Amino acid sequence: MLEALKRASVMLSKYHKISFREQRENIQERTGKSIGHDVIYRVATEETNIRNRKDGLADDIYDYLIDSHKAVLQEALLEVCSGQANSVDRLASIIVQFLGVAEEYDLSSAAKISGTYSAYRPHFLEDGSIMVMRLKCGSEDHASVFKMEMRYTSPLGTESIEKVAGSIIPYEGNALFLGKIDGTGAPFIFIMSKFAKSEGVYAHAQGAVMVGSSGSLPTASAMLIVRNDDPPVPCVLPRSEAETLPNWNHINQVLSRGLVSWKL
């Protein structure tokens, strides 16, 4: 994404006659922040490493581009991806074409989802308990990937740590997450909708998850994800402990829709 921001800034200057100075002034006007006179130029030409800045400049540039020059940013994103021989974003684009959920892969929507989240779902082994999971959407190079981690005690009494990796497919205001559980290859699929914005980013979303693992019948349940820059270690909480979570009312409202499971 950072590479796409730099490329989009150059494209604005070169093809749309919006100089680096004008871009800086536009961002300053939007944010009310004071920005050095040549910072945008130095970022675009890689004289300044935007990744190491602590002033939120990357977010400010992104917000400016997505609101005022979305088409340019999308073009820059596609150029970055096409330059990566084995781009995982290209895989997501192929999935979009196969499913027919959209005409083309929407990288800008995937980028808005990027970040870390706490994820909640009913525990499939213990009635009334809540699984607290860790979700990371996007990576430094690819907006379309996600990773999830969960921990629970197996029926044999041993701790199970399961990790999921897959692709994010945004469509019509929703997002389809297609993943597999590492080691087993079992599918782990969920759809999120009702993405709610807070301070310019997606703060939370709700949906449903479906899991099918070897030796058991598939399960499905409601799920909630809440943006969290420092998500907790994945765990299972009994309801009495889950009720102490700061966003418990929201969690309970979503998860009370229930769990679909079968016993062998």
In the predicted model, is pLDDT for residue 44 greater than 70? Answer: yes
Distance CA(222)–CA(200), nearest Å, equals: 26
Strand partners, 236: 131
Please tell me the total number of residues recorded for the chain in this structure. Answer: 264
Give the domain ranges of the chain.
2-83, 112-260
Q: CA end-to-end span of the chain, whole Å?
A: 46
pLDDT for 96: 62
pLDDT for 100: 58
pLDDT for 127: 82
Nearest CA among 131, 121, 120, 118 for reference residue 237: 131
pLDDT band at 227 (very low <50, low <70, confident <90, very high): very high
Neighbouring C-beta atoms of residue 230, cutoff 10 Å: 6
Distance CA(142)–CA(227), nearest Å, equals: 19
pLDDT for 220: 86
Considering the segment(s) 112-260 as one domain, its CATH architecture is: Beta Barrel (2.40)
In the predicted model, is pLDDT for residue 99 greater than 80? Answer: no
List Cβ neighbours of 21 (8 Å cut-off, separation of 6 or more): 37, 40, 41
DSSP state of 103: S
Strand partners, 219: 211
What are the start-end ranges of the H helices in the chain? 2-15, 20-31, 39-44, 57-68, 70-82, 88-99, 107-113, 239-242, 248-255
Chain-wide mean pLDDT for the chain? Answer: 80
For the entire predicted model, the pTM comes to 0.62
Residue at 180: amino acid letter: K
What is the DSSP secondary-structure string of 13-80?
Answer: HHHS---HHHHHHHHHHHH-----TTHHHHHHTTSS-GGG-SS-HHHHHHHHHHHH-HHHHHHHHHHH
In the predicted model, is pLDDT for residue 85 greater than 60? Answer: no
- Six-digit token pair at 242? 């889950």
Strand partners, 13: none
Distance CA(222)–CA(193), nearest Å, equals: 11
pLDDT band at 264 (very low <50, low <70, confident <90, very high): low
pLDDT for 124: 81
Residues 2-13 have a mean pLDDT of 81
pLDDT for 214: 58
List Cβ neighbours of 154 (8 Å cut-off, separation of 6 or more): 125, 160
pLDDT band at 84 (very low <50, low <70, confident <90, very high): very low
Look-up: residue for tokens 């308990």?
129
